[in-house]
Amino acid sequence: MSQTPNVQRGLTSTTHVIARFGLRMIVLLAFAAFGSIGFGTSLTALLWMSTLLCAVTASIRRELPFYDDLNHWDEVVAYAALCCLVGGHTPVAPV
């Protein structure tokens, strides 16, 4: 059984993570658009849940946080950054 070179495997992993991130963002945006509590609030909640899901997945798969290739930990950082960005611009309803 032959193994693929590290460069080829890394490119495939990076492409896979970017495609997974893009597809998940499309799904999150679609669900947030139909949320009853508003787009910004729904998107913030969905991004927070995606952050937790990717962190749990990375922990279960025992991925290294500072690995050379992209992995679930990189998605955690991206979702957390987007969550903070969207959450900071979402108006809060008065209580």
Which candidate, 8, 4, 7, 10, places its Cα nearest to that of 70?
A: 10
pLDDT band at 79 (very low <50, low <70, confident <90, very high): very high
Domain boundaries, the chain: 7-88
- pLDDT tens digits along 15-63: 888 999 999 999 999 999 998 888 888 999 999 999 999 999 999 999 8
Element (H, E) at 21: helix 6-33
**Cβ(84)–Cβ(47) below 8 Å:** no
Query: Which residues, 6+ apart, have CB-to-CB distance to 38 below 8 Å?
Result: 90
pLDDT band at 92 (very low <50, low <70, confident <90, very high): low
- CA 36 to each of CA 33, 42, 43, 93, 94: distance values in angstroms, whole numbers, following the listed order: 9, 8, 11, 14, 17
Strand ranges inside the chain, DSSP E: none
In this prediction, residue 72 carries a pLDDT of 87
In this prediction, residue 69 carries a pLDDT of 82
**pTM exceeds cut of 0.85:** no
Max CA pair span of the chain: 64
